[in-house]
A and B are shown apart, each in its own frame.
Chain A
Amino acid sequence: MIEDETFHLQIEQAVAAAEKTTSAEIVVALARCSGSYRDIDLLAGAITAGLALFIILFAPFDVSPFLVVPYSAVFFVLGVLLANRIGGLRRLLTTGARLHDQVKEGAIVAFFDEGVSATRERNGIIIYVSVFESAVEILPDLGIDGKVPHAEWNRLRHQISGAPASEKPGAILAAIRACGEILAGPFPPGEENPNEIPDRPRIRA
């Protein structure tokens, strides 16, 4: 999804079409991951080292006491590397709350980084999709916030999050269209309707 140029083009077209019906600005950001999760890697290392220590202590063969610390260190590094390379393992060790908070933070950072708050009527909205966490955050600016209840955006989020991996791109495009429909009421296009923020999706590391 992140590397798919065709999908990026589809997003750009969907955003352009949606923005024709409204003066609001829709921004789509796609992120590989919303945090470094370095602490989770270290946790994996600590667990691996602990298991290694357990095996050394209870193994039927003798291990030189001078090798206990080096072995623990090696297994610690091994655990860190495994968690770093295998996304599934890292996700297994991360709580749902942490994943949720990380995506929320990532969305807030993207909201300001991508200039969503820089529209004249404060009517920008960001659809932030984070692949590693398999989560979506939709953040409206203050102008929208006073006119559309959050429940509307939660419903769209739920639709994208609940879609199977293969149907996620379609769900994102449908959400962009739905955004346009929701915003058309409180923010009609007007005569000028300038495109204040480029429609191309932002790819975040």
Chain B
Amino acid sequence: MSARWQAARHWVRSLGSAPWATAYGLSCLFGFSIALALLALADVAWARVGGGHSYSGSSSSRGGGSSGGSGGGDAGLAYLVIRILLWIILEHPVVGIPLTIIVVVGWVYYQRQRTGTGRIATGSAAVVVAALPAKTAAGLGSLRRSDPNFSIPLFMDFIRLLFVRTHEARGPGRLEPIRPFVQDNVAKALVSPNVKGVSDIVVGSAHIAKIASSAGRTYVDVLFEANYTEIYADHKERRLYAKERWRFGRREGVLSKGPEEIASLSCPACGNTVALDPNGRCTACQQVVNKGDFHWQVVAVSVLEKHPPAQVPVGGSGGGREHGLDRRTVFPPNFAVTRKTFGMRYPEFSWPAFEARAREAVIKLNAAWSTKKWNEARPYETDYLFDTHRFWIERYQRSGLTNRIEQIEIQKVIPCKIEQDAFFDAITVRIFAKMLDYTVRDQDGAIVDGSNKRPREFSEYWTFIRKSGFDAAKQTKASSCPSCAAPLNINLAGVCEYCSAHITTGDFDWVLTAIDQDEDYRG
């Protein structure tokens, strides 16, 4: 031992005073101290019967049945690895210390990946979350800790609205109303002297690409796909497809605003109409509101693609059973309990009534899609999803095609997830259905895709949301406005033509917020 120790000491000193040697030595010792810490942590964790307080791992598990056994096996393996590493460190420090560092870094990375994935499953409303990579999901978890009011459906509605307003404002260069929400330099950079107006903006998709924090601020990167028409100085118009990456920033610890405040795009500090002085100070409340201290603000925009919209790709599909149909339905591990507590929270809630609403939504949405009368789908979808589908209908129209859905037969509706965030309750159901699904060319009626004889069998996960604390007395009757009881007649913004109540926010009934294919759905 003594000789080995002296040799190790000598070896460290023999590395000389080169900076790399010092850095190497430091990192070796740091790794060793981490290994000791892990030993201590592992001891504490293994001592807890039932796996302690970490439920993120279990929620991501779908296999079930073997979690207890694998937990014990993992502990035994970890113990063995640590023993071997300690032995190598003592016997062959030159090999052992770097190896320990590699193992520790690998283990930490693995744990972070695992934790991130778990949080996707335990996160709240909206399937958009399910598609997030582990690192972004971890960022979302951190954001929710500092802002428990952060709601994905609300955020999506807000960024969609801001996207539309910003493009509308950049044409004529009237940037004043968006100043609290778009940094001055970013807004000015969007203005082009050649473009005099932007209209008919339809957001096709908005995906959260990254969530990160730095220097006391939180940033969310969003990828937008949209169609809009640019009107030029010579009065010519051009319909364009654009893919843009927007970065939203906000001071850490700010609490997200509620649905009404978010939709109004008013002063984020006092709620009055936006009127700022040159320093960004609201003339009503005297707060500086253009620094992202009260609300999300666009801090960077990059245009990734901009060109005339592409044609809808056709061909290659027919009827028959889709691949994901045979996959098992994905349930969270605690679904039975969640379902029971949901029933206790809302004693008036009825599963048959909800299922009827889901079936009605499937029928109405597909009918509206087939006939391209998309306004008929308006009561059933959130603003964001409605816009997304409108984007696709427009693409079909521009391609001279119609996607026809006929003979819809809904076979099963299986409730599989219930979630709650600060503002909404969300229920996801798996819908099994069969229908004729084919695309015809408008010009001559020729079928260019699908089959009008062989039905397509498929399943999809549909997520519906409703405002938390829902009052059953306000529930929509299919044919009348829940706010004023007039015959249901709502515009594209989801607002009743008679009383101007916004009825597609989940205040009055369940509205569809996301559709996931069975092969993509992760729970």
The distance from the CB of A57 to the nearest CB of chain B, in whole angstroms, is 6
| A-contact 0/1 string along B391-424, CB 8 Å cutoff | 0000000000000000000000000000011110
Residue of B nearest to A39 (CB): B44
A-side contacts of B6, CB under 8 Å: 65
The distance from the CB of B146 to the nearest CB of chain A, in whole angstroms, is 8
B-side contacts of A97, CB under 8 Å: 141-142, 145
Best-surrounded residue of B2, B43, B345 (most CB of chain A within 10 A): B345
Q: Does B177 contact A (CB under 8 A)?
A: no
A-side contacts of B30, CB under 8 Å: 50
Q: Does A90 contact B (CB under 8 A)?
A: no
Q: Does B94 contact A (CB under 8 A)?
A: no
B469–A68 contact, CB under 8 A? no
In-complex Cβ contact of B345 among A57, A105, A142 (8 A): A142
Within 8 A of A (CB), among B13-50: 25-26, 29-30, 32-34, 36-37, 39-41, 43-45
Residue of B nearest to A57 (CB): B12
The distance from the CB of B114 to the nearest CB of chain A, in whole angstroms, is 14
Q: Does B318 contact A (CB under 8 A)?
A: no
Q: Does B333 contact A (CB under 8 A)?
A: no
Within 8 A of B (CB), among A113-167: 122, 142-143, 145-151, 154-155, 157-158, 162
Q: Does A51 contact B (CB under 8 A)?
A: yes
A151–B145 contact, CB under 8 A? no
Q: Does B280 contact A (CB under 8 A)?
A: no
A39–B40 contact, CB under 8 A? yes
B-side contacts of A157, CB under 8 Å: 148
**Known A65-B5, A97-B145, A148-B469; contact A142-B344, beta-carbon cutoff 8 A:** yes
A149–B468 contact, CB under 8 A? yes
B37–A154 contact, CB under 8 A? no
Q: How far is the CA of A68 from the CA of B2 in the complex (A)?
A: 11
In-complex Cβ contact of A146 among B40, B45, B346 (8 A): B346
Q: Does B434 contact A (CB under 8 A)?
A: no
Binds B, one of A1-9, A19-27, A40-48, A195-203: A40-48
**Known A39-B44, A42-B37, A50-B33; contact A151-B53, beta-carbon cutoff 8 A:** no
A146–B37 contact, CB under 8 A? no
Q: How far is the CA of A46 from the CA of B38 in the complex (A)?
A: 9
Within 8 A of A (CB), among B405-452: 420-423
A57–B255 contact, CB under 8 A? no
B32–A151 contact, CB under 8 A? no
**Known A50-B30, A96-B145, A151-B258; contact A101-B41, beta-carbon cutoff 8 A:** no
A-side contacts of B470, CB under 8 Å: 146
B-side contacts of A100, CB under 8 Å: 145
Q: How far is the CA of A50 from the CA of B40 in the complex (A)?
A: 13
Total interface residues on A, CB under 8 Å, equals 39
The distance from the CB of A187 to the nearest CB of chain B, in whole angstroms, is 12
The distance from the CB of A101 to the nearest CB of chain B, in whole angstroms, is 6
Identify whether the interface residues of B are mostly helix, strand, loop, or mixed: helix
**Known A96-B142, A146-B345; contact A46-B40, beta-carbon cutoff 8 A:** yes
Q: Does B9 contact A (CB under 8 A)?
A: yes
The distance from the CB of B373 to the nearest CB of chain A, in whole angstroms, is 34
The distance from the CB of B25 to the nearest CB of chain A, in whole angstroms, is 7
A-side contacts of B39, CB under 8 Å: 46
A-side contacts of B25, CB under 8 Å: 54, 57-58
Q: Does A18 contact B (CB under 8 A)?
A: no
Q: Does A38 contact B (CB under 8 A)?
A: yes
B-side contacts of A42, CB under 8 Å: 37, 40-41, 43-44
Residue of A nearest to B39 (CB): A46
B253–A162 contact, CB under 8 A? yes
**Known A150-B148, A151-B423; contact A145-B37, beta-carbon cutoff 8 A:** no
**Known A96-B145, A151-B422; contact A65-B2, beta-carbon cutoff 8 A:** yes
Q: How far is the CA of A157 from the CA of B147 in the complex (A)?
A: 11
Q: How far is the CA of A105 from the CA of B5 in the complex (A)?
A: 46
Q: Does A74 contact B (CB under 8 A)?
A: no
In-complex Cβ contact of A68 among B5, B32, B142 (8 A): B5
B255–A46 contact, CB under 8 A? no
A-side contacts of B422, CB under 8 Å: 149-151, 154
Q: How far is the CA of A157 from the CA of B422 in the complex (A)?
A: 13
A-side contacts of B34, CB under 8 Å: 46, 50
Q: Does B183 contact A (CB under 8 A)?
A: no
A147–B469 contact, CB under 8 A? yes
Residue of B nearest to A148 (CB): B469
Q: Does B371 contact A (CB under 8 A)?
A: no
The distance from the CB of B36 to the nearest CB of chain A, in whole angstroms, is 4
Q: Does A53 contact B (CB under 8 A)?
A: yes
In-complex Cβ contact of B33 among A46, A105, A143, A145 (8 A): A46
Residue of B nearest to A100 (CB): B145
The distance from the CB of B58 to the nearest CB of chain A, in whole angstroms, is 15
B-side contacts of A176, CB under 8 Å: none
Q: Does B341 contact A (CB under 8 A)?
A: yes
The distance from the CB of A76 to the nearest CB of chain B, in whole angstroms, is 8
Q: Does B310 contact A (CB under 8 A)?
A: no
A-side contacts of B26, CB under 8 Å: 54
Q: How far is the CA of A65 from the CA of B3 in the complex (A)?
A: 9
**Known A101-B53, A151-B149, A151-B258; contact A142-B341, beta-carbon cutoff 8 A:** yes
Q: How far is the CA of A97 from the CA of B112 in the complex (A)?
A: 13
B-side contacts of A145, CB under 8 Å: 345, 420
Best-surrounded residue of A68, A151, A162 (most CB of chain B within 10 A): A151
Residue of A nearest to B8 (CB): A57
| B-contact 0/1 string along A100-113, CB 8 Å cutoff | 11000100000000
In-complex Cβ contact of A158 among B37, B255, B258 (8 A): B255
Q: Does B353 contact A (CB under 8 A)?
A: no
B-side contacts of A39, CB under 8 Å: 40-41, 44-45
Q: List 7 A-B contacts (CB under 8 A).
A: A38-B44, A39-B44, A50-B34, A53-B32, A97-B142, A105-B53, A149-B423
Listed in ascending order, the chain B residues whose CB lies under 8 Å from chain A are 1-2, 5-6, 9, 12, 25-26, 29-30, 32-34, 36-37, 39-41, 43-45, 53, 141-142, 145-146, 148-149, 253, 255, 258, 341, 344-347, 420-423, 467-470
Closest 7 CB pairs of A and B: A50-B33, A42-B40, A146-B345, A46-B37, A149-B468, A46-B36, A65-B5
In the complex, given contacts A43-B37, A96-B142, A150-B149, what are 20 additional A-B residue pairs having Cβ atoms less than 8 angstroms apart?
A42-B41, A42-B43, A42-B44, A50-B33, A51-B33, A53-B32, A54-B25, A54-B26, A58-B12, A58-B25, A65-B1, A68-B5, A96-B145, A105-B53, A146-B345, A146-B469, A149-B422, A154-B148, A157-B148, A162-B253
